[in-house]
Amino acid sequence: MDGMQYLKIIENGSVVIGRDGRIEAVGAADSIKAVYSEASFDKVIDASGMCVLPGLVDAHTHPVWAGDRVHEFAMKLAGASYMDVHRAGGGIHFTVGHTRAAEVSDLVSSLSSRLKRMLRTGTTLVECKSGYGLELHTEMKMLEVIEEARRTLPINISSTYCGAHAVPKGKTVAEATEDILQVQLPKLKEYMESGAMKVNNIDVFCEKGVYDLTSTKSILQAGKEMGLNINFHGDELHPMNSAQLGAELGALAISHLEEVTDEGIAAMAKASTAAVLLPTTAYILRLPQPRARDMLKAGIIVALGSDFNPNAYCCSMPIVMHLACVNLRMSMSEALAAATINAAYALGCSRTHGSLEVHKDGDLLILNTTRWEHLIYQLGGHQELIRYVIIKGNIIYDNDRTMCL
Ligand SMILES: N=CN[C@@H](CCC(=O)O)C(=O)O
Ligand SMILES: [Zn+2]
């Protein structure tokens, strides 16, 4: 969209964050200084010669799992496709085996180090999916692990039930769908109603050989009736008409979309369904690149995600933005909007996150550079460029002192 080309940049600006963690003022330093001349602050950061950005929002990750898949990376480099590996019992199935067997404490500890890594790369709000259990016990275990991270880490989390990430071994699509509708979702509803769990979104991998359009529809509809936002994987490896289905169901977002059709793009634009594009996956799997330019032209709200998972091992939204610019042909302004305000929209959080505006959460980055574009331009340079990561007004990471994380 045109607006994504025009970021509002304030030269010599200041931001004031209140004790409630919300932004109280943002604007020219001179006028803020005048208004707050009598005020006392708990902490003042002199960001002269630096640059302040909204915290980054990662709209799609699978960060709870055990067992890496480095061996499959080698197979894929040698020519195996994602679905070749999946059909041979690897891929998601490999991770499901290890995650089912894993102790909660191990999953909490690996999730926590992954989320800290994301924080250090500037992510302050992240979507986290379940989906490596594919049965009641492990799906709930994964969601509880995400809840634990929410309780103990400062990073903001939007959580997603993704019990339909693959059809479990030994079950047909119909049997797996029935299990989700009759067993898993009712239990999840019970946990949500009792306050034991706060889940935000429902996801299905709508793909040939995984969940077809009919089963996807029934699962997403059931989730929506429970108050979950529809946010699912669609049109990744084959054109499935997932985009049209999502638009019809009022989906908040659809991810991947490498194979979306023109009709799908038009339907998503009309329904204000965000497209969460995942440049790391298209890059690693050598897929056709998602049609970001066509989507932007049609008026779709384009967001970005890292898709962190054992297939696409990348935690860094600055790298994702770089790939979005080079491979998806987005401008740097578009990529930043897609990794902040639009990603917040895809998670239903754009009223509180995604930009530096009064009343929003005081989540921001301070960069060791006067030009924000360096964060995208310097591939991998975020390690030195990000000086502070701040969430709700608290310094969570100080790169000079490597404090906290
Ligand atoms: N495509 C489906 N799900 C993930 C991959 C998960 C996995 O391979 O473990 C994705 O978004 O890329
Ligand atoms: Zn995914």
pLDDT in tens, 83-130: 999 888 899 999 999 999 999 999 999 999 999 999 999 999 999 999
214, pLDDT greater than 80: yes
pLDDT in tens, 329-366: 999 999 999 999 999 999 999 999 999 999 999 999 99
Q: Residue type at 337? A: A
Instruction: List C-alpha distances in Å: 219 to 30, 199, 344.
Output: 54, 15, 24
401 alpha carbon to ligand 1 midpoint, in Å?
A: 35
* 230 neighbors 246 (Cβ within 8 angstroms): yes
Reported confidence tier of residue 225, pLDDT bands at 50, 70, 90:
very high
Q: For position 4, what pLDDT does the model report?
A: 78
| pLDDT reported for residue 6 | 80
Mutation test residue for ligand 1: of 233, 240, 320, the one with most atoms within 8 Å of CB: 233
Ligand 1 atom nearest to 92, measured from its CA? 9
d(CA 324, CA 375): 13
Q: pLDDT tier at 324 (50, 70, 90 boundaries)?
A: very high
Residue 91 CA: which ligand 1 atom is closest?
8
The residue whose CB lies within 8 Å of the most ligand 1 atoms, and thus the one to mutate among 162, 309, 314, is 309
pLDDT at 2 over 90: no
Q: What's the 237 CA to ligand 2 centre distance in angstroms?
A: 12
The residue ranking higher by pLDDT, 6 or 41, is 41
- List the residue whose alpha carbon is closest to atom 9 of ligand 1: 92
Q: How far is CA 17 from CA 42, 44, 54, in A?
A: 10, 10, 13
Report the separation in Å between the CA atom of 119 and the middle of ligand 1, taken as the mean of its atom positions.
22
Confidence of residue 389 (pLDDT cuts 50, 70, 90): very high
pLDDT at 18: 97
What's the token pair of residue 43? 């902490």
**Share of residues in the chain with pLDDT > 90 (%):** 96
ipTM: 0.98
Cα 242 to ligand 2 centre (Å) = 15
Per-residue confidence (pLDDT) for residue 223, from 0 to 100:
98
pLDDT value of position 402: 59
| Contact indicator for 126, 389 with CB cutoff of 8 Å | no
Residue 149 Cα to ligand 1 middle (Å): 21
Query: For 152-179, what is the mean pLDDT?
Result: 98
- Ligand 1 atom at shortest distance from the alpha carbon of 312: 12
Closest ligand 1 atom, residue 60 Cα: 11
Residue 1: the pLDDT is: 54
Closest atom of ligand 1 to 281 CA is 12
- What's the gap in Å between 53 CA and the centre of ligand 2? 26
Ligand nearest to the CA of 236: 1
The sign one gets for the Cα dihedral 177, 178, 180, 185 is positive
> How does residue 405 score in pLDDT terms, banded at 50, 70 and 90?
low
Instruction: State the average pLDDT for the chain.
Output: 96
CA distance 274 to 378: 28
> Is 131 a residue whose pLDDT tops 60?
yes
Retrieve residue 162's tokens: 């993704």
Angle of helix 92-101 relative to helix 136-152, nearest 10 degrees? 70
From ligand 2's centre to the CA of 278, what distance in Å? 8
Mean per-residue pLDDT, 370-398: 96
Pairing type for strands 13-17 and 23-28 reads: antiparallel
Residue nearest to atom 2 of ligand 1 (CA): 205
Q: Which ligand is nearest to the CA of 313?
A: 1
Gap between the Cα atoms of 335 and 287, Å rounded: 20
pTM: 0.97
Distance, in Å, from the CA atom of 379 to the CA atom of 215, rounded to the nearest integer, reads 41
How many other C-beta atoms can be found within 10 angstroms of the C-beta atom of residue 235? 26
Q: What is the pLDDT of residue 88?
A: 86
Q: Could you give the CA distance from residue 278 to residue 289 in angstroms, rounded to a whole number?
A: 9
Q: Which of 207, 307, 308 to mutate to test the pocket of ligand 1 (most atoms within 8 A of CB)?
A: 307
Residues 191-205 pLDDT 10s? 999 999 999 999 999
Which residue(s) pair with 159 in the sheet? 128
Task: Determine the average pLDDT of the residues in 61-82.
Answer: 95
Q: What is the mean pLDDT of residues 28-44?
A: 95
pLDDT in tens, 260-308: 999 999 999 999 999 999 999 999 999 999 999 999 999 999 999 999 9
205 vs 235: CA distance, rounded Å? 9
Residues lining ligand 1, CB < 6 A? 62, 91-92, 95, 205, 233, 236, 281, 307, 309-312
Q: Which of 120, 1, 57 is nearest to 360 (CA)?
A: 57
C-alpha to C-alpha distance for 270 and 403, rounded to whole angstroms: 46
Sort 348 into a burial class: Cβ within 10 Å, 0-12 / 13-18 / 19+. middle
- For ligand 1, the distance from its centroid to the CA atom of residue 142, given in whole angstroms, is 16
For residue 86, the ligand 1 atom closest to its alpha carbon is 8
Q: Can you give the three-state secondary structure of the chain, one letter per residue?
A: CHHHHCCCCCCCEEEEECCCCEEEEEEEHHHHHHHCCCCCCCCCCCCCCCEEEECEEECCECCCCCCCCHHHHHHHHCCCCHHHHHHCCCCHHHHHHHHHHCCHHHHHHHHHHHHHHHHHCCEEEEEEECCCCCCHHHHHHHHHHHHHHHHHCCCEEEEEEEEECCCCCCCCHHHHHHHHHHHHHHHHHHHHHHCCCCCCEEEEEECCCCECHHHHHHHHHHHHHCCCEEEEEECCCCCCCHHHHHHHHCCCEEEECCCCCHHHHHHHHHHCCEEEECHHHHHHCCCCCCCHHHHHHHCCCEEECCCECCCCCCCCHHHHHHHHHHCCCCCHHHHHHHCCHHHHHHCCCCCCCCCCCCCCECCEEEECCCCCCHHHHCCCCHHHHEEEEEECCEEEEECCCCCCC
